Structure 1
């Protein structure tokens, strides 16, 4: 196991890192305005941001974000996992929200600048990483429902532990039939802040009932599964791996795309199709469903043990380690992310110091 450098700020924190418990001491800012376009990213001390009370984001919700991670390899180098996919999704989210689209190269430059400056904050633990949160908000001070003419882009970072780790109990999900996450044409495939705020009422109800999260159904028939909380869902039946299709309501997860590619490379039948919740639960009861698992940047790959609907719990038999596809996927992806095996697919982008390294300045 890699040891944390004693000079690292992480060496003095002690205990679990958690998720968002500690923030690094710097962030990146970048501004956009119509007519002049994007400024060069600036590295600044982590601190409070000031907004005019009339900033459009506060009234009309033009806000998008990403979630991604940087990893430390055994040779102490730092790399990002598939940042091009996050950059592309960030542009797609901006397009859906009628916001300024950040060039993918500029997005990756901004992320790399922060990671390079904060490389001492990248944990060396086998289940830890530096989580990065790029955000863009409409900061023009104005009233009226319209596109903003100015935007603030920023990135903050936090060293984190994995949200799901070996030895933890599988997830418990409660099917939500009273609320829907997204409607057709409603932007459920954009990583916009409003898509998450509206889910809290169902999430908190599930937690009060002893569940980890919500299994969302389609908003029309309330019959087909979509996401679980803010993660993508997979169902394995033998050598068939099923996941709901990208129908405009489901976020195109980077981990989801990675899992589908690996499964196909391994000779599995990876199928994107609608999955009836009735079909799923009856399959679990009959023992025909081998695994249900979740995927996402924060949760990685996590097994599901129970799905409850209308007061009844449907329990999945625990897959043995040799039979668990979730375990195999998690290990294979983690080994690539941490530089333990050759990156034959070009998924990792090593972070090198920018040629014109920015000077830390006041925001």
Structure 2
């Protein structure tokens, strides 16, 4: 076991090789028991469907060090269920919730010394994935599959505090109307690289995608979900067959309703209604919440609460969710899998 020499105060979001990762192989209609491996290189056939036809999906979740030394794994059952839906969409065998959580737990325990300390703002990021492998060349589902989970320590997304960012409406589509938008598959992210690069070159944090059918409704912010707050305290967020159902989004919906007393509205979010929102944000595992200062649309920058300060409701939501993740605020039932530290 290696002892990492990491400056927790400067830790960002980049690949760091940790000691162990979980590997399970599927063949003859079943997953094997799975093992922990020190090898971070996958050895797969050159004909693997993951390489040629994009038959793969992935997840992202975090484990947090708590004040008492224990570890909180945040809502892994929801990630497991979403991975099952992604696998079904791409004709891959599903991983049971039990195997998924057990794999994540094993990886966290085996790499516990890589978890950033309590109070640092960091976490242990886990990346589960399923890929089609084995000798193949035709367009068909793979003869074999790999389910793996690896982890990396990551620092706080916002160095020096959470700050609003500006975004621009994209002319590109993130996914097809009846495509794979609701599945967490690599092809969706590969397709987002060019639009995201063009937005950043224009001085924005990323782009915002409209619905692919009518191009009138906001759907996603880069690789994150969108939400907004109205003057009359509604929490508004898109709901569509081409939107990825995020775990952070799901959590914010419940907290907005149960803890902040907001009215939750899921459905179409017309881009023409930007003026109705007093606050807006993007939510996802990496940043939890990225406040949106302004959105560029039709040559005009629509500013919400402020381009310098985070809105009060967004601040409340962020404080509540991060407090739950780090163990400082009581979590709703079933949200935390507790792992005892050494």
Coarse TM-score class (shorter-chain normalised): over 0.9
Change (3 A) 1:12 1:187: closer
| Inter-partner Cα distance in structure 1 for 2:309 and 2:166 | 19
What TM-score do the two structures reach when normalised by structure 1?
0.88
Residues 78-137 of structure 1 show CA distances to partners (whole Å, capped at 9, x for unaligned) of 120001000100101101111011111001111100101111111114411000000110
| Inter-partner Cα distance in structure 2 for 1:289 and 1:14 | 37
Residue 251 of structure 1 corresponds to which residue in structure 2?
244
Matches within 5 A, 1:1-363: 9-13=3-7, 15-35=9-29, 37-124=30-117, 125-164=119-158, 167-177=161-171, 179-238=172-231, 239-245=233-239, 247-265=240-258, 266-280=260-274, 283=275, 288-318=276-306, 324-352=312-340
Matched-pair contact (CA < 8 Å) for 2:162–2:290 = no
Residues 40-63 of structure 1 show CA distances to partners (whole Å, capped at 9, x for unaligned) of 121110421122211111111101
| Inter-partner Cα distance in structure 2 for 1:42 and 1:21 | 22
Stretches of structure 2 that go unaligned for 5 or more consecutive residues are none
| Inter-partner Cα distance in structure 1 for 2:266 and 2:332 | 25
Change (3 A) 1:347 1:165: farther
Q: SS at the partner of 1:106?
A: helix
Change (3 A) 1:71 1:235: same
Q: CA deviation at 1:27?
A: 0.9
Q: How many residues align?
A: 338
Residues 16-49 of structure 1 show CA distances to partners (whole Å, capped at 9, x for unaligned) of 11112423121111111133x0111211104211
Q: CA deviation at 1:14?
A: 5.9
| Inter-partner Cα distance in structure 2 for 1:168 and 1:13 | 21
| Inter-partner Cα distance in structure 2 for 1:158 and 1:225 | 32
Q: SS at the partner of 1:123?
A: coil
Stretches of structure 1 that go unaligned for 5 or more consecutive residues are 1-6, 354-363
Matched-pair contact (CA < 8 Å) for 2:163–2:308 = no
| Inter-partner Cα distance in structure 1 for 2:159 and 2:227 | 18
Matched-pair contact (CA < 8 Å) for 2:9–2:120 = no
| Inter-partner Cα distance in structure 2 for 1:62 and 1:114 | 24
Give RMSD over aligned pairs: 2.0
Q: SS at the partner of 1:159?
A: strand
Change (3 A) 1:311 1:8: farther
Residues 138-183 of structure 1 show CA distances to partners (whole Å, capped at 9, x for unaligned) of 0121111111121011111111013235534312111002x10012
Q: CA deviation at 1:9?
A: 3.6
| Inter-partner Cα distance in structure 2 for 1:269 and 1:172 | 26
Matched-pair contact (CA < 8 Å) for 1:112–1:352 = no
| Inter-partner Cα distance in structure 1 for 2:92 and 2:324 | 34
Moved more, 84-93 or 124-133: 124-133
Q: CA deviation at 1:320?
A: 9.9
| Inter-partner Cα distance in structure 1 for 2:58 and 2:315 | 29
Q: SS at the partner of 2:128?
A: strand
